[in-house]
């Protein structure tokens, strides 16, 4: 009896080993046989915008690697190709076309500025393709092939201006912007409409290019105007000389606070934080959000990229974009753009900042609002927030949709030509 029991046990053990090996072999065989899902990542790895976009690449890669560890999508591996937009909207369009036509990707995750987004949109929409865009931008669009996971002005700029009026009791505002980005100019147009409606004034408005020329003139203009607060849409590396020169000019956060819509934790790693303690930023996410989902996300990000790395809004929006797209593909059973767009419109995600949902009408996301104050350690203390996610409104109610469309078209009619001048475009 003992002999038969031993034989039976050996047979059972052998069967389990064979089944286990067969299962392992079968899974790996499927990985090899099933065609991978191929995606594109398109951000600036070089140029003045790389300070913000490199970390967005990191976030998208982290999401894709996690998806593969979880078994892929539809039992298939995800592969990716990374292209460099080189901080140039024309290059972004060229690289998008190469990703679609040569690399055969089914979706592109990318862009930072509204101008680059618009440039890539002219490529993806005629090709019936899909762009997942993870940055804040000016709106004024109801895209058919672009899913936007960053905040719109009504989710970032408008609540922040309201806070300045109510909490800082500010009445005189100076608008500092980037002459090479439509988001900056259009956001300031929205702000001026809002200030007029609320009985406050814009005492100055000035733009600097991405190469940083004109920063000293901008700082001098701020000092002359003596505003209660500076609202900044200045992008990229230019923020470093801007905040250094503000400090040298005696325009400290205590005297003239700056509220930025483009500076977050990742940018602060490269900026003179000592000159910015007490300044503000408005976003849909800060690393300091105290929730289990966010703490886990921050820890995974640091485990992958190092304990000195920080998260920020654009990083989270980039990560969310990949996850929302993956959910849509899994639910739909195919990565085909037409089919994905049918189901991505009702996707939601328990994200690091809270629940994020794709708006079915606009393809933008519902997101929270947080206003943070710069700390000495390069993080933000959240000093104000809205209790519920804010619905995305691509066209602010301060003007009609037709008026906004006309404004943007006039802006783009001269953009990139010798006739374009941001100092006159601001008055369109």
Distance CA 381, CA 74 (A): 41
In a domain, 13, yes or no: no
Residue 24 lies in a domain: no
Q: Is residue 254 classed as helix, strand or coil in its secondary structure?
A: coil
Residues 278 and 298 in one domain: no
Within a domain: 164: yes
The reported pLDDT for the residue numbered 420 is 55
Looking up tokens 């959910």 gives 327
Say yes or no: 148 and 168 in one domain. Answer: no
Statement to judge: residues 380 and 306 lie in one domain: no
**pLDDT in the model for residue 387:** 81
CATH code at 192?
3.40.50.2300
Number of domains the chain is built from: 2
Distances (CA, A) of 41 to 54, 84, 107, 218: 11, 9, 9, 35
- Write out the two tokens for 43: 């951000």
Examine residue 170 and state whether it is found in any structural domain, yes or no. Answer: yes
> Does 420 map to a domain?
yes
In this structure, what is the dihedral angle of CA atoms 40, 44, 46, 52, given to the nearest 10 degrees? -130
Instruction: Count other Cβ atoms within 10 Å, centred on residue 32.
Output: 9
The verdict on residue 31 lying in a domain is: no
218 shares a domain with 320: no
pLDDT (0 to 100) of residue 2: 46
The pLDDT value recorded for residue 24 is: 45
The DSSP code for 114 is H
Please indicate, yes or no, whether residues 285 and 407 belong to a single structural domain of this protein: yes
Residues 280 and 383 in one domain: yes
Taking only the tens place, the pLDDT of each residue in 349-387 is: 999 999 999 999 999 999 999 999 999 999 999 999 998
- Which of 254, 253, 234, 231 shows the shortest CA–CA distance to 242? 234
The per-residue pLDDT for 428 is 54
Same domain, 262 and 302: no
DSSP-assigned states of every residue in 348-406: EEEETTEEEEE-TTTSBEEB--EEEEE-TTS-EEEEEE-SSPBPP-SS-TTS-HHHHHH
Question: End of a domain among 368, 384, 413?
Answer: 368
- Would you give the DSSP letter of residue 100? H
Alpha-carbon gap, residue 379 to 411, rounded angstroms? 36
Task: Let me know whether 268 and 388 are in one domain.
Answer: yes
Q: Which of 202, 204, 207, 215 is nearest to 183 (CA)?
A: 207
Q: Based on the fold, state whether residues 94 and 200 are members of the same structural domain.
A: no
Shared domain check, 311 and 229? no
Please list, in sequence order, all residues whose beta carbon lies within 8 angstroms of the beta carbon of residue 265, skipping any fewer than 6 positions away: 286, 287, 310, 311, 312, 378, 379, 380
Q: Are strands 370-374 and 280-283 parallel, antiparallel or unpaired?
A: antiparallel
Residue 29 lies in a domain: no
Within a domain: 277: yes
Q: Which residue range(s) make up the domain with 362?
A: 37-152+290-368
Same domain for 157 and 213: yes
> 220: which residues sit within 8 A by CB, 6+ positions away?
249
- What gap in Å lies between CA 7 and CA 171, rounded to an integer? 89
Answer yes or no: do 166 and 275 share one domain. Answer: yes
Distance CA 59, CA 73 (A): 18
Cross-strand bridge partners of residue 385: 370
Structure tokens of 63? Answer: 């999401």
What's the 3-state SS for 318-359? HHHHHHHHHHHHHHHCCCCHHHHHHHHCCCEEEECCEEEEEC
The segments of the chain whose pLDDT lies below 50 read: 1-2, 4-8, 11-32, 418
């Amino acid at each position: 009896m003992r002999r038969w029991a031993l034989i039976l046990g050996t047979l059972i053990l052998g069967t389990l080993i064979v089944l286990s090996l067969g299962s392992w072999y079968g899974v790996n065989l499927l990985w090899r046989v099933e065609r991978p899902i191929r995606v594109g990542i398109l951000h600036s790895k070089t140029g003045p915008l790389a300070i913000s976009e490199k970390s967005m690449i990191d976030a998208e890669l982290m999401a894709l690697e996690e998806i593969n560890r979880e078994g892929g999508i539809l039992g298939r591996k995800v592969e990716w190709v990374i292209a460099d937009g080189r901080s140039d909207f024309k290059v972004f369009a060229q690289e998008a076309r190469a990703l679609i036509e040569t690399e055969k990707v089914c979706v592109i995750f990318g862009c930072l500025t509204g101008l680059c987004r618009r440039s890539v949109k002219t490529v993806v929409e005629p090709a019936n393709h899909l762009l997942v865009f993870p940055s804040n931008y000016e709106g004024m669009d109801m895209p058919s092939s672009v899913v936007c996971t960053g905040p719109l002005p009504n989710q970032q700029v408008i609540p922040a201006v309201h806070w300045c009026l109510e909490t800082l009791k500010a009445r005189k505002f100076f608008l500092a912007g980037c002459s090479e980005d439509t988001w900056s100019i259009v956001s300031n147009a929205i702000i001026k409409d809002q200030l007029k409606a609320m009985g406050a004034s814009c005492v100055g408005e000035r733009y600097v290019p991405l190469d940083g020329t004109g920063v000293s003139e901008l700082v001098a203009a701020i000092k002359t105007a003596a505003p209660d607060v500076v609202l900044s849409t200045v992008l990229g590396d230019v923020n470093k000389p801007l905040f250094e020169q503000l400090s040298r000019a005696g325009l400290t956060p205590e005297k003239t606070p700056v509220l930025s819509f483009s500076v977050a934790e990742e940018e602060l790693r490269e900026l003179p934080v000592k000159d910015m303690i007490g300044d503000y930023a408005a976003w849909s996410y800060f690393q300091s959000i105290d929730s289990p989902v966010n703490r886990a996300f921050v820890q995974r990000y640091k485990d992958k990229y190092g304990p000195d790395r920080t998260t920020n809004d654009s990083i989270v929006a980039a990560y969310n974009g990949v996850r929302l797209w993956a959910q849509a593909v899994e639910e739909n059973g195919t990565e085909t753009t037409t089919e994905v767009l049918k189901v991505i419109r009702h996707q939601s995600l328990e994200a690091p900042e809270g629940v994020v949902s794709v708006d079915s009408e606009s393809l933008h996301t519902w997101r929270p609002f947080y206003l943070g104050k710069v700390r000495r350690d390069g993080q933000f203390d959240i000093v104000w927030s809205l209790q519920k996610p804010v619905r995305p409104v691509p066209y602010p109610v301060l003007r009609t949709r037709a008026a906004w469309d006309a404004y943007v078209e006039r802006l783009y009619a001269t953009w990139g030509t010798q006739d374009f001048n941001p100092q006159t475009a601001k008055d369109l």
